[in-house]
Amino acid sequence: MPPVAPRSGDAIFASVERVNAELFTLTYGAIVRQLLTDLEEVEEVNKQLDQMGYNIGIRLIDEFLAKSNVSRCVDFKETAEVIAKVGFKMFLGVTATVTNWDAEGTTCSLVLEDNPLVDFVELPDTCQGLYYCNVLSGVIRGALEMVSMKTEVTWIRDMLRGDDAFEMQVKLVKQVPEEYPYKDDE
């Protein structure tokens, strides 16, 4: 039997079960609002959103790998492209652009022109330090950690703060070698 070809983000997005976009957006907004009420400090809310995203990412990678038929990426550049073109499309219905690579190929930016999480959102002056979509940086960090890539993800630009796009910087800190729990008998 021939190997199964990887599926594009569009094909996966068309075949997965989805929730209503407005329901998703408003539910996420309610979560952020409740965190602001409970934690009071914007920086604590940013940390909590990142941690929530991390917890989602370490589970979401299983679904991504099962449904996308993506084979092992050869390097971090290919991984970033798969996240931008397949991952974002599969789970959010949008694609990102990968730009601003450093010379070593360990740092890049993922730029989103459209972000469904921010529909209907305006940040009040009291929340100017809030990274409203910080859950996305946590998701990327958690998912990549599950495939042996320790990363740092930070927001560079945010349309809710008046920028022209949403931009996350993804930095590969360390490629963790895979460890197998059992040794083969020789």
Residue 1 located in a structural domain: no
Name the least confident of 3-7, 45-49, 59-63, 73-77: 3-7
Please give the helix or strand (H or E) that residue 93 lies within, else none.
none
pLDDT of 76 > 70? The answer is yes
Residue written as tokens 């931008």? 84
- Asked whether residue 61 is assigned to any structural domain, the reply reads yes
Q: Please tell me the predicted confidence (pLDDT) of residue 28.
A: 87
- Can you tell me which residue has the tokens 């370490």? 58
User: Alpha helix locations (H) across the chain?
Assistant: 9-15, 21-39, 42-68, 76-82, 88-92, 134-146
pTM summary value: 0.83
Low-confidence winner among 2-6, 53-57, 97-101 (lowest mean pLDDT): 2-6
Q: How many domains would you assign to the chain? A: 1
Contact 156, 109 (CB under 8 A): yes
Percent over 70 (pLDDT), the chain: 84
Tens digits of residue pLDDT in 130-185 = 898 899 999 999 999 998 899 999 999 988 888 888 999 999 999 877 666 666 65
pLDDT tens sequence across 15-37: 556 557 778 788 888 999 999 99
Of 135, 131, 185, give the one whose Cα is nearest residue 159: 131
Confidence of residue 7 (pLDDT cuts 50, 70, 90): low
CATH number of the domain within which 152 lies:
3.30.1380.20
How far does CA 24 lie from the centroid of its chain? 16
Structural domain harbouring 111: 7-173
Q: Does residue 166 lie in a domain region?
A: yes
How far is the CA of 128 from the CAs of 42, 82, 103, 161, in angstroms? 8, 32, 33, 7
Task: Select the more confidently predicted residue: 14 or 56.
Answer: 56
Quick check: 101 and 77 in contact, CB under 8 A?
yes
Give me Rg for the CA atoms of the chain: 17
Average pLDDT for the chain = 84
Q: Distance from CA of residue 127 to its chain's centroid?
A: 22
